[in-house]
Amino acid sequence: MAGEVKDILKNRVKGKNYDRLVAVDHPKMHRFIADAIELTNPASVYVCTDSPEDIAHIRALAVKNGEEIPLNIKGHTCHFDGISDQGRDTFSTRYLLPAGSSLGESLKSVEKQAGTKEIRDLLKNSMAGREMIICFWCLGPVGSDFTIPCLQITDSPYVVHSESLLYRPGYEQFKKLGEGHGFFRFLHSEGELENGVSKNHNLRRVYIDLEDELVYSVNTQYGGSTMGLKKLALRLAIQKASREGWLAEHMFVMGVHGPKNRVTYFTGAFPSACGKTSTSMLPGQTIVGDDIAYFRKKEGQMRAVNVEKGIFGIIQDVSEKDDPVIYKVLTNPMEVIFSNVLLDANKRPYWLGMGCEIPPEGTNFSGAWFNGKADDQGNPIPPAHKNARYTLSIPDLDNCDPALNDTNGVPVGGIVYGGRDSDTWNPVEQAFDWNEGIILKGAALESETTAATLGKQGVRTFNLMSNLDFVSIPLGKYVQINLDFAKGVKKPPLIFSVNYFLRGKDGKYLNTMADKLIWILWAELRVNGDVDAIKTPTGFIPKYEDLARLFKEHLKTQFTKDDYEKQFTIRIPENLAKLDRVEKIYRDKVPDTPKILFDTFAEARKRFKSAAEKLGDYISPFELLGK
Ligand code: SPV
Ligand code: MN
């Protein structure tokens, strides 16, 4: 250790904590920690190892400092974020880029030198009087070529407690790294607090330095902006993956259980709050992960891992009826951190859409809450936030897939792309091939905005691969890398689109939440060549008989021909309008768009138009049979 760094660490990190740092022989890590201490000036430093005692200490600390409140079920606690800190702040989250460089119009950035100075000024003395916690985690299964070691520094025990549920331990890994090995670094401070929540939300900043694989965040407590390993690491990983020839995606990974005990692995990309977690937790299936996947090619196969080992899931609409697996977990003893729900006087949590009456008063993210309470602008404050969440560890679940920690990942049989789309896509459809799937399903994805990000909700927004918020390379390059990824793969995964949010003419949803199970089971049958499909201008759709059988067998419901026709009618004008909207974005904002994207759009447009000339604007699947 260099003399100056050693002096700082020796003076500021006491006893066993110092020994724990010295046990990791990594000068770059020591330099980073010494710098963070000098910058944020904490009263003390706690170095957290992988031991259960250390994690228990952190858990107790989060309760002691008021960041978590113990609830009435063993293992449950609740955390509140500030009223204006309830989702990812896509405006203040920016890439630090050297002067003169750009990632394209859609990716927000700030000049590196000025941005670094700005955020370091905000971090200056931010931990004065508080304890700094240093902790170590791994992205991906430990000891695999997917693994990325990460160092998190924060003044929030809630962040560390959450990370202990969400990520695999990394202290012992850091000891083995060797000084040349890279790692991702995250420095977070809640900043000044008022009533226990970050006060200066107008000075909230999350700045991502891609070159140095380092992220700073300040004046925020919301998990998506503070837990470095979640979406901040995804941004770093996308850039790293593009250099190294693998993929980092905003996707679940799940085992879909087909006939005769067959398990086929699927990955699926959905924008936040569009059914990703509830798909990965479907009854009868097994979960590998619900949010972020890394893909690598191994011996001619595409294989994926869950980068995490826990769930930070949206709780709204989790009810016994619609999400029985998740509901059961959230109402029984187990380690769970609820965030931004309503607590009654008995410390029981309530959330929107939980399927029971919500009490007229309690405590929520606005403090003491009562029915009719309004915010500063006079808007009613809901009992629980729409982006209220729960955090838990997947190995604690009965439906945990046995391959969760497989160092080779799982072979990917199918990929699904889905968004919040009221009028265009069918509930499920298979793309004609890999390129069409990547371009017309993934790269053309649009979705209505949700409460997972700050800002207006319900606005139809372009969101390629559900990953737009996290892509850290030029968008055209990102599409090309996805296209190229099937090269050398013997049997590329089949690609599907799904849409759980399709509405009829009366504006009502055409499906129930439970129906998604059927779309996924149908896709599994397609991957294994068990069912035929109908070729439409937009892709392959299921035959009525196959769906009717699956509905009867798995949901015990009758799927009528009328349901089928309403849901699977090809809506040509809407599909054409979508092509126009998305193509305009690529033409206007993505100068490096691969030519094949425009060619594929042009062919699709031709196909849609010639079908409409023959069969009309709205084409019933029954009309296509035999044609
Ligand atoms: C999402 O919003 O996609 C999440 C939660 O998974 S966050 O950590 O905020 O990204
Ligand atoms: Mn997500």
C-alpha 179 – ligand 1 centre gap (Å): 32
Q: Which ligand is nearest to the CA of 227?
A: 1
* Site to substitute for ligand 1 among 85, 88, 389, most atoms within 8 A of C-beta: 88
pLDDT above 70 as % of the chain: 100
pLDDT at 93 (0 to 100): 97
Q: How far apart are CA 222 and CA 206, in angstroms?
A: 12
Q: What confidence tens digit (pLDDT) does each residue in 452-496 have?
A: 788 888 889 999 999 999 999 999 999 999 999 999 999 999 999
C-alpha 16 – ligand 1 centre gap (Å): 35
Ordered by where they begin, the domains of the chain are: 3-67+90-244 (3.40.449.10), 248-308+404-624 (3.90.228.20), 312-393 (2.170.8.10)
- What is the four-CA torsion angle of 146, 151, 152, 157, rounded to 10 degrees? 90
Report which protein residue has its CA nearest ligand 1's atom 5: 224
pLDDT of 411 higher than 70: yes
State the average pLDDT for the chain: 96
The ligand 1 atom at the shortest distance from the C-alpha of residue 453 is: 2
pLDDT of 281 higher than 60: yes
Q: Match 């702040």 to its residue by tokens.
A: 89
Report which protein residue has its CA nearest ligand 1's atom 3: 272
The ligand 1 atom at the shortest distance from the C-alpha of residue 291 is: 6
Q: How far apart are CA 225 and CA 219, in angstroms?
A: 10
pLDDT at 450 (0 to 100): 84
pLDDT of 440 higher than 70: yes
The ligand 1 atom at the shortest distance from the C-alpha of residue 231 is: 10
pLDDT of 529 higher than 90: yes
Q: What confidence tens digit (pLDDT) does each residue in 33-43 have?
A: 999 999 999 99
* Site to substitute for ligand 1 among 234, 238, 272, most atoms within 8 A of C-beta: 272
The ligand 1 atom at the shortest distance from the C-alpha of residue 292 is: 6
* Site to substitute for ligand 1 among 215, 226, 230, 471, most atoms within 8 A of C-beta: 230
Q: How confident is the model at residue 2 (pLDDT cuts 50, 70, 90)?
A: confident
Average pLDDT over residues 609-626: 94
Among 568, 607, 230, 282, which residue's Cα sits nearest to residue 428? 568
Pairing of strands 336-339, 76-79: parallel
C-alpha 447 – ligand 2 centre gap (Å): 14
Q: What confidence tens digit (pLDDT) does each residue in 105-129 have?
A: 889 999 999 999 999 999 999 999 9
C-alpha 621 – ligand 2 centre gap (Å): 34
Q: Match 């990929």 to its residue by tokens.
A: 415
565, 622 in Cβ contact below 8 A?
yes
The ligand 1 atom at the shortest distance from the C-alpha of residue 223 is: 8
Average pLDDT over residues 494-511: 96
pLDDT above 90 as % of the chain: 95
434, 441 in Cβ contact below 8 A?
no
* Site to substitute for ligand 1 among 231, 251, 385, 392, most atoms within 8 A of C-beta: 231
C-alpha 479 – ligand 2 centre gap (Å): 19
Burial (CB count <10 Å: 0-12, 13-18, 19+), residue 331: middle
Q: What confidence tens digit (pLDDT) does each residue in 342-395 have?
A: 999 999 999 999 999 999 999 999 999 999 999 999 999 999 999 999 999 999
The ligand 1 atom at the shortest distance from the C-alpha of residue 250 is: 3
Q: Which ligand is nearest to the CA of 89?
A: 1
Query: Does the annotation count 274 as an active-site position?
Result: yes
Tokens of 353: 């859409």
pLDDT at 451 (0 to 100): 83
pLDDT at 437 (0 to 100): 98
Query: DSSP 3-state assignment of 456?
Result: coil
* Site to substitute for ligand 1 among 89, 188, 291, 465, most atoms within 8 A of C-beta: 291
pLDDT at 626 (0 to 100): 58
Q: Which ligand is nearest to the CA of 389?
A: 1
207, 119 in Cβ contact below 8 A?
yes
Report which protein residue has its CA nearest ligand 1's atom 10: 224
Q: What's the first-to-final CA gap in the chain, in angstroms?
A: 74
160, 154 in Cβ contact below 8 A?
yes
283, 325 in Cβ contact below 8 A?
yes
Residues, beta carbon < 5 Å, ion ligand 2 = 272, 291
Report which protein residue has its CA nearest ligand 1's atom 9: 224
C-alpha 35 – ligand 2 centre gap (Å): 31
C-alpha 452 – ligand 1 centre gap (Å): 7
The ligand 1 atom at the shortest distance from the C-alpha of residue 222 is: 9
Q: How far apart are CA 140 and CA 162, in angstroms?
A: 17
Report which protein residue has its CA nearest ligand 1's atom 4: 272
* Predicted model pTM: 0.97
Q: What confidence tens digit (pLDDT) does each residue in 550-588 have?
A: 999 999 999 999 999 999 999 999 999 999 999 999 999
Residues in CB range of 412: below 8 A, 6 or more apart: 265, 266, 267, 295, 301, 302, 303, 304, 493
DSSP assigned state of 130: S
Report which protein residue has its CA nearest ligand 1's atom 8: 224
Q: Which ligand is nearest to the CA of 452?
A: 1
pLDDT at 106 (0 to 100): 85
Extract long-range pairs of 464-469: CB within 8 Å, 24+ residues apart: 465/249, 465/250, 465/269, 465/417, 466/250, 466/251, 466/269, 466/270, 466/271, 466/274, 466/276, 466/417, 466/418, 466/419, 467/238, 467/249, 467/250, 467/269, 468/106, 469/88, 469/90, 469/231
Tokens of 70: 């113990």
Among 137, 148, 119, 113, which residue's Cα sits nearest to residue 235? 148
Q: Which ligand is nearest to the CA of 310?
A: 1
- The residues lining ligand 1, judged by C-beta closer than 6 Å to any ligand atom, are 88, 223-224, 230-231, 272, 291, 312, 452
Complete DSSP assignment for 160-207: HHHHHHHSEE-HHHHHHH-TT---EEEEEE--SEETTEES-GGG-EEE
pLDDT of 520 higher than 60: yes
Report which protein residue has its CA nearest ligand 1's atom 7: 224
Choosing from 48, 135, 274, 400, the catalytic residue is 274
C-alpha 93 – ligand 1 centre gap (Å): 13
Q: What confidence tens digit (pLDDT) does each residue in 153-212 have?
A: 999 999 999 999 999 999 999 999 988 899 999 999 999 999 999 999 999 999 999 999
C-alpha 312 – ligand 2 centre gap (Å): 8
